[in-house]
Amino acid sequence: MSPTTPRATPQLPTSMDPLGETLHLLRLTGTLYCRSELTAPWGIDLPAFEGCMMFHIVTGGRCWLEVEGAEPCLLQRGSLALVPHGAGHLIRSELDVEPEPLFDIPVQKVSERYEVMRHGGGGEPTHLTCGVVQFDHVAAEQLIAQLPKVLQIDTWDDEGSWLHSTLRFIAHEARELRPGGETVITRLADILVIQMIRSWIDSSPRADHGWLAALRDAQVGRALNLMHRQPAQPWTVASLAQEVGMSRSAFSARFSQLVGQPVMHYLTQWRMRLARIQLRETTEPLSALASGVGYQSEAAFCRTFKRFFGLSPGKVRRLSSVEGISS
């Protein structure tokens, strides 16, 4: 996408499944893969990656994953583990192995998005495929906030064929470096990570609370989709209540109960997060950007934006430009 091209809100397919439509919005950026060939004893200390998620897939052997504040996880062949909040963590062959900092371990750079690491003491082998990924839509911020410190799925024999095939395809695309290969890898990462999240949603009692539960609610889920689809509309509590067939008071109370915040606060937060993404990724004039998230007055938009983020829209754009040049 050109930096001068306005970022349009994705058009979602007509569906009675608000959760499915929200997952449809998720796209990944900044994907990096590392295939690791490790031999015991070995240990790796991964730093925090702010705003990113890290995943590890064990394709052979076993290892331990440790995130502060969570119980150590034993990962075996076919295990997928997602560290959704970008927290620093340890992976190692045994819990008593002294880990080495990630960036102190040499890697073979196959491409800009794919590396190979060979490390360890020559003992029992473990094969990992690891990734650092980032979602590029405001829906992801809401979704990731619901996830635990570590998300683990153990599957290989039953549903593992899709996983194995996906990993082989990723490795092939990374090695061949054909035109469009990075796009293919990124789309495969979409599938891989979203499948992990879907499996967690299907199996975890924690998914029955908060924002995810609200998306599954017939009335509140529809209201959320309306705000997600059409952020520029002049929504009010009354108009949303009418759209979902509830009284204003009953809708307001149910929304707050399920989502954990009032309707209009949620709508404003959604609009501001969308605006922040567009500020970073486009050069769209502030007046047009404000209108695209429901503000006819640029001044009102700027006041609200600064109240939410502590910085003016112009400063966020300038800082993003500096970061883009420096990277």
Into how many domains does the chain fold? 2
Q: What's residue 179's pLDDT?
A: 76
Residues written for the chain = 327
pLDDT at site 322? 59
CATH number at residue 106: 2.60.120.280
Instruction: Classify the C-alpha dihedral 54-3-313-140 as positive or negative.
Output: negative
Continuous H helices in 57-152:
138-146
Q: Do 202 and 229 fall within a single domain?
A: no
Q: Is residue 2 part of a domain?
A: no
Q: Is residue 50 assigned to a domain?
A: yes
Do residues 132 and 31 touch, judged by C-beta distance below 8 A?
A: yes
Same domain, 137 and 76: yes
> Which positions of the chain have pLDDT values less than 70?
1-16, 24-30, 136-137, 155-161, 171, 174-177, 181-182, 186, 321-327
Outline where the chain has alpha helix (H): 18-24, 138-146, 160-176, 181-203, 210-216, 218-229, 237-243, 248-259, 263-281, 286-292, 298-309, 313-326
**Same domain for 110 and 86:** yes
* The predicted structure's pLDDT at residue 8: 43
Domain annotation covers residue 232: yes
Tell me the torsion sign for CA atoms 240, 243, 244, 245.
positive
Domain boundary among 159, 179, 207: 207
The whole-number pLDDT of residue 10 equals: 42
pTM: 0.72
Give the pLDDT of residue 142: 78
Residues 116 and 158 occupy one common structural domain:
yes
Q: Which domain holds residue 274?
A: 217-326
What CATH number should be reported for the domain holding residue 287?
A: 1.10.10.60
